[in-house]
Amino acid sequence: MDCIFCKIINGDIPAYTLYEDDIVKCFLDVNPITNGHMLIIPKEHYTALKDIDLDVLSHIMKISKLMEEKIMIKLNPDGLKLVQNNGFIQEVKHYHLHLIPAYKNEQEMIDVKEIYEKLK
């Protein structure tokens, strides 16, 4: 399979991993919309919401709560957006949940490595 997220899970492509367990991997987006933009992906390949196992989906939401707390404490955004795309708007055809911090004032984009150091 030529899935970039499967390659990240297998360690073929490096990622700034913030959390990992037997079910999911959470890492910083390499093309972030805002500082702290991260993804949570299941380790098993599911294409979209219609395909994902409900227990896995529930676990993803549980981890999103953990990561939300970390984002709020370490980066101090004014809000947080959760985004999950399906169909033609889904760039990578592997289920993934975006956690995107929102800031009232425009933030200067910081290098992903620097954000990783703040969040790890």
Q: What is the pTM of this model?
A: 0.93
> Active-site residue numbers?
96
Domains of the chain in start order, with CATH, are 4-110 (3.30.428.10)
Interval 20-61: pLDDT, tens: 999 999 999 999 999 999 999 999 999 999 999 999 999 999
Q: Strands 97-102 and 17-20: what pairing?
A: unpaired
Interval 60-109: pLDDT, tens: 999 999 999 999 999 999 999 999 999 999 999 999 999 999 999 877 78
Q: What confidence category does residue 1 fall into, taking pLDDT thresholds of 50, 70 and 90?
A: low
Can you read off the two tokens belonging to residue 84?
């999950």
Longest dimension (CA), the chain: 41
State percent of the chain over pLDDT 70: 99
